[in-house]
A and B are shown apart, each in its own frame.
Chain A
């Protein structure tokens, strides 16, 4: 990553390529300071873009508060990224790798704001779909909907049922639910994974899903 120049006498001096972010960020000196400023600018741009994509969730906030969220997210992303700098393997552009830290922190912060003060009751049952564009579609959808309701009631554990209903039916963001439950995004996703396996197995057994079905419904 860091080339060595022997052009300056007998003492080799490190030469950091302009696009070698890892070297620029790792080599002490004014070049590192400039790289840090440049990186922070990239993270601010990514955080601002993520917040703008979620603007419906921050519609009640003023521009000043939104700026705070953007700056806080970029700052947190900067710390997280620098802590992981040694793990960058060059499998993507450095900028793409960097953006993801800002995107994650901004998205989590916006979701957190959107759910402040909102209760998340953990439900035990879902409600079947009650309308359809045509009678035939209604009939087919109602049958599948009823089978899924039964599967939720009978194939899942209480914990799986609560997590599935909150995240997949009531649209509670997975990171918000993890915070409220003192859990983690990973742990809740594993719960969803196992619950989907259980639901699919029952629906396949009852003939409501074909065994080879790999993707469920199209959007």
Chain B
């Protein structure tokens, strides 16, 4: 797969050094992600303060983050929110 090796770019360095605490498994992330997404729609970045293990996991697990962001968009559409209205909620998904 790796004809092109990835180097330690700033983004890779962030991925390597992001604080992984508090611990949360991928299974528990899946169990809680619907709750977190709706909290993010209600509270924006404060969702991360209320559920810090979810914030840490989504900052450190690209697959879970990718799926959570899709879920956020679907839940937002159900509320009638447009993409540009998601800025606050998306802050709960950044490290």
Contacts and interface: CB of A to CB of B under 8 A. Distances in A.
Interface string A121-151: 1010011111000000000010011001100
Interface in B58-74: 59-63, 66-67, 70-71, 73-74
B2 A149 contact: no
A213 B95 CA distance: 12
A155 B88 CA distance: 38
Given A49-B73, A96-B78, A129-B7, A196 B12 contact: no
B8 A96 contact: no
A174 B61 CA distance: 8
Interface string A178-219: 000000011001101100110110010000010001111111
Given A107-B66, A126-B8, A203 B17 contact: yes
A161 B53 CA distance: 24
Nearest to B29: A189
Contacts of A217: 10-11, 13-14, 17
Interface residues of B, number: 44
Contact of B78 (A93, A126, A173): A93
B84 interface: no
Contacts of B35: 91-92
Contacts of B95: 215-216, 218-219
A144 B11 CA distance: 13
Best-surrounded residue of B13, B33, B37, B61 (most CB of chain A within 10 A): B13
Contacts of B30: 100, 104
A118 interface: yes
B26 A185 contact: yes
A170 interface: yes
A128 B7 CA distance: 6
B67 A100 contact: yes
A119 B1 CA distance: 5
B1 A216 contact: no
A107 B94 CA distance: 20
B16 A91 contact: no
| 10 nearest A-B residue pairs (beta carbon) | A217-B14, A92-B34, A216-B17, A118-B1, A145-B8, A216-B18, A96-B34, A185-B26, A91-B35, A215-B95
Interface of B: 1-2, 5-20, 23, 25-27, 30, 33-35, 37-38, 57, 59-63, 66-67, 70-71, 73-75, 78, 94-95
Given A200-B17, A218-B14, 6 more contacts: A49-B74, A92-B38, A107-B66, A129-B8, A169-B16, A189-B26
